[in-house]
Structure 1
Amino acid sequence: MRLSLCAIVKNEEASLMNCLMSVKDVVDEMVVLDTGSTDRTVAIAKAFGATVGFYPWQDDFAAARNESLKFATGDWILVLDADEVLKPEIVPQIRQAMQNEHHLLVNLVRQEVGATQSPYSLVSRLFRCHPEIQFTHPYHAMVDDSVASLRDRENHWQVVSLSAVAIEHYGYQPGAIAGKNKLARAKTAMEAYLSEFPEDTYTASKLGAIYVQLGEITQGIALLEQAIPKEGDPLVLFELHYHLGIAQTRLENFNAAKMHYQAACELPILRSLKLGAYLNWGNLLKAEGNLGGAILAYQQALAIDPQFAAAYYNLGMVCKQLGKIPEAIAAYQSAIQLNPHYAEAYQNLGVAFLKGGNVPASLKAFSQAIALYQKSNPQEAQRIRQELQTMGFKV
């Protein structure tokens, strides 16, 4: 079975090499579709022996991805973005999945490196090269609609999911997160698409989330709630409930938010996809004083993923509030071990050490917090420094 990589790019010289390096010994050919680069992106792709195509960007990811498929000659397609890398540990499972003659689509778990809320997502990025499989949706493009149509006519096809992390995505790193201008463009494109396909709950879930992110809370809630009864796909239902939980929290409708997070956590999807919902649910319980419930929610998240730094941090906050200082210190240290740049964890570790009477360890933690804040939030660094000086400490 021959495997083709298909990637669409624009000015990705900083990340494309890592992407192509991760698949150079896995795929049989690389297809890189350039949508208007002015840097070394095309030269890097050619250096890896990629087939390079050119396509003018039309603010439509589905159109660009479908254009890239035209260059592929493999039996299977693997789709990556330039800021993603394939984990080598997943390759044997991918090869095994491709050998099954009934497999049409293989969903892959993607780790959102740097994301503090939802560190994992499920993406439809590995599929059989078939003339009827095409991407739809101008933003958050996916092949699921065409796959579903094909399976309705030919029911021998199967869709499966690999549970181990397959892709690392670095789009949530500092400086890489989309700005409001990009969100506005996505909003405009999805509004146009939804006006043409008003029953498309997948687009409704994505557009509703953008409304909430842009502060248009009421409009976001209306769209998300309208979509809920129309869709039976557990993954889409999860996103609808999850984003409704966020929106209702913004409006301080905490009971409604908890209801949505609970509904999200009860859906039959991969447990790793529920981490953000457990975290936010725990935060709501903590805010209302249900510290035992909050601890349980954070522990459920850590049972799913022991590498979830944000859950350790929030667990530390609850333990500190309960006066369980050794437990709080241990939780903060676990968060820092997983994320050495976690300024808030260093800051609260300093508080916990101070409450426990270990002044040298406290000042060391505060110093590390200040150094990290100095790069990302200088005002907070100065505030901590002044508070420590008020208490008679010098850092």
Structure 2
Amino acid sequence: MKISACVIAKNEAENLPRWLASMRVFADEMIVVDTGSTDETVAIARAGGARVLYFDWINDFSAAKNFALDAATGDWVVFTDADEYFTEESAPRVRPLIEEYDSRDKFDGFIVHLVNIDMDTGALLGTNAKVQRIFRHVPHIRFVGSIHEHVENLSGDPGRMMMMAPGLTLYHTGYSPRMIKEKSRRDLDLLLARRARGESSKLDEYHLMDCYYSLEDYPQAARYAREARDSADQPVGSEDRPHAVLLQSLILMGSADSEIREAYEIARKACPEKADFPLIYGTYAWDQGYFVTACRAYQEGLHLHEEYYREGDFSGILAPTACVRLGEAAALRGDMEEALRLQERGLRIAPRSAPILASFLRLLTQVGADDVAVIKVLQSLDYGADDAAFLAAVLAASAFQLAALYYDQRSTVKFPQRRQFLLTGDVNSAAASLVEDIERTAAIAAAYGRAFAHAQQAQLALLLPDSCKQESAAPEVQRMQRRIGRLAEGGR
């Protein structure tokens, strides 16, 4: 059994090395179809062991991808975008999974869980999808659609099937903040131009919704989200997306409470296992001051998040804030034990969130915890040696100064000495250190001031202390004059 990994690319020098490394784990051949690159894409592909083919771009993604399919020689095809790659754990599982299902009659391929991440930070962006990326290399499976192309079974046999790929996750960097608007403008222009020619596709509303939402045109996003939500045609595995875009667009454009509530209820009914919707609605209700409603929605959302979360769900971003706010509500009721439990839960979901940790520390201050108790609590959480600098920085802004020093000593990046003096309460040493720094700076300015233009020398003279400018028998002036002299002579 042979596997072909295929991709179409244009100016993908930044993404292609990662794609090649991911596909090389399981593929027998790698095919890169270049559609007009002006960067190092072709050279990188060849150096990475891929076969490079050329396709004249005709504003048709399916045509380019079907060209790649025609060139592939494998029994199975893994066809991703250049900005997609399998996670380190997933890549070795691709071949065994295909081999397991290869002999099954009428089984055509796999739908893969795709998670959007920030290409610069690796952070989850809170959106994911289910995408068709692995399929048999057979004539009846082709790409359809000049833009936002997708795989279709053209055999006419409804008995042929695809299934979710267990244990496989693709990371996708194409929705990264620094590039999403540019891509959305490009896609929107292509979509509108095609529709102006009288051409349309069954998923146009879905893609127009996404483009307008990315471009922050929320009225248009809401319009097409409704059309996509109510359409009989839905992209496989992303049926919840129109509900999410509609709800968030209505909130962001300041729609009436009743309209937002209606969209929320429809979403909750359509996707009863999706934690995103009650958490989104809870955030809206909290910001509007509907605290009882917000707490109810937050509690439901946290329950669903715990039961059904999958990597990349938006609930992973919202759940920690829900915990903090429910904790704040519990504290207002006087239930400090519940407040601490909830905020600790938020920290376990997002242990490296400075605002959440700071909120938790404020609660610990209210219950009278000391530095030792705080250190014990933090040691029970999911923190490693690499987190010491983070913990020290957040603790330094709290009431737990000695705990900040404890983690500073365990960090490879130390606080400046003056900051350490202040954390120990040694104000005199901190002040002496500050005076020394000021004197050293003044001496350097006085020693090298003649190197500046006359106007700058005059400005500098206004800033220098008298000890740099006058003769005096005072010890501090004598000391400063000697320091200036050593510097002027090239000493230290």
- TM-score with structure 2 length normalisation? 0.63
Match of 1:330 among 319, 344, 348: 344
Distance 1:62 1:277, change over 3 A: farther
Partner residue in 2 for 1:127: 135
Shift of 1:7: 0.7
Give the aligned length. 354
What is residue 372 of structure 1 aligned with on the other side? Answer: none
- Is 1:305 paired with 2:309? yes
Quote the residue 1:379 is aligned against.
Answer: none
Find the residue that maps to 1:135 and give its secondary structure: strand
> What is residue 364 of structure 1 aligned with on the other side?
393
Structure with max Cα Rg = 2
Match of residue 383 from structure 1 = none
Alpha carbons 1:102, 1:158 under 8 Å: kept: yes
Letter of the 2:296 partner, please give it: G
Question: Equivalents in 2 of 1:10, 1:368: separation in Å?
Answer: 48
Matched, 1:348 2:351: no
Q: Look up the match of 1:184.
A: 185
2:79 is the alignment partner of 1:41? no
Deviations 1:84-125 (A, max 9, x none): 222236423333233323112321111223465644210011
Q: How does 1:56-135 map to 2 (within 5 A)?
A: 56-86=56-86, 87-88=90-91, 90-91=93-94, 92-114=96-118, 118-135=126-143
The counterpart of 2:170, out of the listed 167, 172, 186, is 167
Contact 2:18/2:85 (<8 A) preserved: yes
Task: After TM superposition, give the deviation of residue 80 of structure 1 in Å.
Answer: 1.7
Higher relative contact order (CA closer than 8 Å, sequence separation 6+): 1
Following the alignment from structure 1 to structure 2, what is the Cα–Cα distance between the partners of residues 267 and 104? 28
| 1:296-317 CA distance string (max 9 Å, x none) | 2133123222766414422333
Q: Partners of 2:117 and 2:185 in 1: how far apart?
A: 24
2-side partners of 1:4 and 1:368: how far apart?
54
Structure 1 residues 221 and 281, CA gap change in structure 2 (3 angstroms): same
Indicate conservation of the 8 Å contact 1:20/1:48, yes or no. yes
Alignment of 1:128-167 (within 5 A): 128-144=136-152, 147=153, 149-150=154-155, 153-167=156-170
Distance in 1 between residues matched to 2:193 and 2:129, nearest whole Å: 25
Counterpart of 2:476? Answer: none
Backbone CA RMSD of aligned residues: 3.2
1:263 corresponds to: 266
CA distance in 2, matches of 1:23, 1:227: 34
Q: Which amino acid aligns with 1:315?
A: A
Q: Does the CA contact (< 8 Å) of 2:117 and 2:125 recur in 1?
A: no
Secondary structure of the corresponding residue to residue 52 of structure 2: strand
Structure 1 stretch displaced more, 155-164 or 275-284 = 275-284
Which of 282, 296, 300 in structure 1 is aligned with 2:300?
Answer: 296
| Secondary structure of the corresponding residue to residue 108 of structure 1 | strand
1:222 aligns with 2:223: yes
State the Cα distance separating 1:163 from its structure 2 match. Answer: 4.5
Q: Cα deviation per residue 1:172-230 (whole Å; 9 max; x = unaligned)? A: 4564x323x33222112122344567774422111023223323333333333234443
Q: Percent identity?
A: 22
> Which amino acid is 2:109 matched to?
L
**What CA distance in whole angstroms lies between the structure 2 residues aligned with 1:235 and 1:167?**
14
1:266 to 1:67, Cα distance in 2 relative to 1, 3 A? farther
Going from structure 1 to structure 2, the CA distance change for 1:36 and 1:240 (only over 3 Å counts) comes to: same
Task: For 1:187-266, list aligned pairs within 5 A.
Answer: 187-194=188-195, 200-231=201-232, 233=234, 235=237, 237-253=239-255, 254-266=257-269
Contact between 2:305 and 2:319, CA under 8 Å: does it hold in 1? Answer: no
User: What SS does the corresponding residue of 2:7 show, helix, strand or coil?
Assistant: strand
With normalisation by structure 1, the TM-score equals 0.77
Contact 1:295 1:318 in 2 (8 A): no
Which deviates more, 246-255 or 291-300?
Answer: 246-255
Change (3 A) 1:173 1:182: closer
Does the 8 A contact of 2:202 with 2:233 survive in 1? no
